[in-house]
Amino acid sequence: MGIRIALGAQTGDLFRLVVGQGLTLALTGVAAGLVASLAVTRYMASLLLGVAPTDPVTFVAVSLLLTTVSSLASYVPARRATRADPVVALRYE
């Protein structure tokens, strides 16, 4: 990341790159999880107490929670990457 800054990348571009990659992975995982959970609901219906196997509120709430947590998990490294000193990064590399 420091090399990108040294070559002229703007901090906003670097921030969008890191957060964008994190959110892409998170949304791909949420989509795969939703498909898998909908496929398994018939088998797990006997284990669920008080919740319908395809409860939309539960699916939306869990999806939003996971997306929010992954956004925060991407934000911290992105912010740290934008503050990297390019000279120190080039010396380290």
Is residue 18 one of the residues assigned to a domain? no
Q: What is the pTM of this model?
A: 0.73
**62-91 per-position pLDDT tens digit:** 999 999 999 999 999 888 888 877 777 677
Is residue 14 one of the residues assigned to a domain? no
Structural domain including 43 reads: 2-8+25-92
Is residue 16 one of the residues assigned to a domain? no
| Structure confidence at residue 35 (pLDDT) | 92
How many domains, the chain? 1
| Share above pLDDT 90 across residues of the chain, in percent, rounded to a whole number | 37
| Structure confidence at residue 36 (pLDDT) | 92
Is residue 84 one of the residues assigned to a domain? yes
- 3: nearest Cα among 89, 92, 91: 89
C-alpha–C-alpha distance, residues 91 and 64, integer Å: 41
